[in-house]
Homo-oligomer: A and B are copies of this chain.
Amino acid sequence: MRDLDKVKALFEAESVAVVGASRNPDKTGHAILKNILESGFRGRLYPVNPKAGEILGLKAYASLKDIPEPVDLAVIVVPARFVPSVIEEAGEKGVKAAVIISGGFRETGKEEGKRLESELVEKAKKYGLRFLGPNCQGVNNPHKGLCASWPKITRKGPLAIISQSGTIAAAFEIWAEEEGIGISKMAALGNKADIDETDLLQYFGEDPNTKAVGMYIEAVRDGKRFINVVSEVTTKKPVVILKSGRTVSGAKAVASHTGSLAGSYALYLAAFRKAGAIPVDGIEELYDVTKGLAFLPKPKGPRVQIVTSSGGSGIISTDNVEELGLKMASLSEDIKYSLKDELPDYCIIKNPLDLTGDADAERYDIALKHVFRDDSVDIVIVIFGDPIPGASEVMRKWFGKGKVLVPVYLGGGDVEKVERRKMNEAGIPAYPTPERAVKVVRALWDYTTYLKVKEITS
């Protein structure tokens, strides 16, 4: 076990210095300070820049040492050659952790860069300081208003993202913000000269604000430790992993990107599965599955009932259910009878249950009232396929009532946008196509069976 308290300081710092803060709006050192300021950080914030008296209305200090109070976290944005001395100074001042945004280290493939990076590691060790990076896109903790990264993402939520790529972390955060889902923590790994994905995962496993962890990784240095931590965390919360470098060409590209060996994907995949992590194939799927698993309860079985106003979407999701190895539920006779009794006679009382194109929110409510009584249904995928005001109300009424409920909304224009966002904001993960929803359900079922088997065999 490594020192989690200092990893925690990356996200929970009470006082933050931005070393290399700039008055020039085009500089990263400006953007980071601005994002921390504007994301509502309530701790103390110190720009460090020897040439600027004031930046964004804050008094700037010539160096870390000149700051009159303790500093928990140093965010470092100065050119590579100055970083070792900044770390030295930070160590002397008792700074707990640092995020090194600056590039120009091992990733350059040059001797000078490697030397500078080794120097960083040595100096940090000397003082017991832990750092993320170098060459990374920073960290974010919206629960604390601490966006030491870009773009500025402020929406609080339950999803954590650990990413070897700043861009993929940013894309994940942007989707979570736009949808009204929100983020618990973000960490971009960079060169992983000190803190790595395993440290972060271990900490996120204990973080009460994090309900599911998404990871984008290219290569893991200490595979055994990583898999041990994954096994431990997955007993508490889902871990979803997008691994790249799966192919020969991809593995070569990994070596160029971070100087690491990607290893055999088949081995990674087997190890992920053994440890209960959910492997995914793409960036959107990483987001979709992490989002779903953060909110959805565990299903009792794999039997899916589809309820929809869109015949076509119902059939597509039926194909997806069967193609992904889930089961189509068969409604009980008495439930069918009740549905026939209460629904218009042109509705198709089967699976998919087709409420037809003129269905309103009330008709969905009636359908769910009966479907939720049926013991032969474990999971209900509800597809809204028209402008149906009040769709989100119906979802709020039935979500969490003993079955897994996953809404899909498409083809509904402006009403769709409003209703889908309302669902997401209420903690009901909603998807834009049946395909994406069924993939999430499959991942949920995999995670559920993993936990069940683990319980039986341990």
Taking beta carbons and an 8 Å cutoff, which residues of A are in contact with B?
Answer: 103-104, 107-109, 137, 150-152, 163-171, 174, 216, 218, 242, 244-250, 252-254, 256-258, 281-284, 309-316, 318-319, 321-323, 328, 345-346, 348, 350-352, 354, 356-358, 385-387, 410-414, 416, 432-436
Q: In the docked arrangement, what's the CA distance between A258 and B356, Å? A: 12
On whether the beta carbons of A258 and B311 are closer than 8 Å, the reply is: yes
- Picked from B174, B246, B346, the residue with its CB within 8 Å of the CB of A411 is B174
**6 sample A-B contacts, Cβ–Cβ < 8 Å, listed by A number:** A108-B345, A166-B312, A242-B316, A244-B319, A247-B318, A249-B328
On whether the beta carbons of A311 and B257 are closer than 8 Å, the reply is: yes
Q: How many monomers of this chain does the complex have? A: 2
On whether the beta carbons of A164 and B312 are closer than 8 Å, the reply is: yes
Q: Which residues of B contact A281 (CB under 8 A)?
A: 435
CB within 8 Å for A216 and B323 given contacts A413-B174, A435-B284? no
The 8 closest A-B pairs by CB, nearest first: A165-B312, A167-B385, A170-B411, A151-B413, A167-B310, A250-B319, A167-B411, A247-B322
Q: Which residues of B contact A245 (CB under 8 A)?
A: 315, 319
On whether the beta carbons of B168 and A248 are closer than 8 Å, the reply is: no
CB within 8 Å for A165 and B433 given contacts A250-B315, A315-B218, A323-B247? no
Q: Which residues of B contact A164 (CB under 8 A)?
A: 312
Nearest-neighbour CB distance to chain B for A353, whole angstroms, equals 10
Q: In the docked arrangement, what's the CA distance between A119 and B211, Å? A: 59
Nearest-neighbour CB distance to chain B for A297, whole angstroms, equals 25
CB within 8 Å for A357 and B410 given contacts A282-B433, A315-B218, A387-B151? no
Nearest-neighbour CB distance to chain B for A188, whole angstroms, equals 10
Q: Which residues of B contact A350 (CB under 8 A)?
A: 253, 256
CB within 8 Å for A316 and B249 given contacts A103-B346, A283-B433? no
Q: Which residues of B contact A356 (CB under 8 A)?
A: 103
Find the B residue at minimum CB distance from A410. Answer: B171
Known: A170-B386, A170-B410. 5 other contacts (CB 8 A): A103-B356, A167-B309, A218-B312, A250-B316, A258-B311
CB within 8 Å for A357 and B282 given contacts A151-B387, A315-B218? no
On whether the beta carbons of A346 and B104 are closer than 8 Å, the reply is: yes
- Picked from B167, B256, B284, the residue with its CB within 8 Å of the CB of A386 is B167
- Picked from B150, B168, B312, B354, the residue with its CB within 8 Å of the CB of A244 is B312
Q: Which residues of B contact A165 (CB under 8 A)?
A: 310-313, 385
Q: Which residues of B contact A174 (CB under 8 A)?
A: 411, 413, 416
On whether the beta carbons of A312 and B257 are closer than 8 Å, the reply is: yes
Nearest-neighbour CB distance to chain B for A357, whole angstroms, equals 6
On whether the beta carbons of A312 and B168 are closer than 8 Å, the reply is: yes
Q: In the docked arrangement, what's the CA distance between A246 and B320, Å? A: 9
Q: In the docked arrangement, what's the CA distance between A170 and B321, Å? A: 23
Q: Which residues of B contact A316 (CB under 8 A)?
A: 168, 242, 244, 250, 282-283
On whether the beta carbons of A171 and B253 are closer than 8 Å, the reply is: no
Q: Which residues of B contact A167 (CB under 8 A)?
A: 309-310, 312-313, 385-386, 410-411
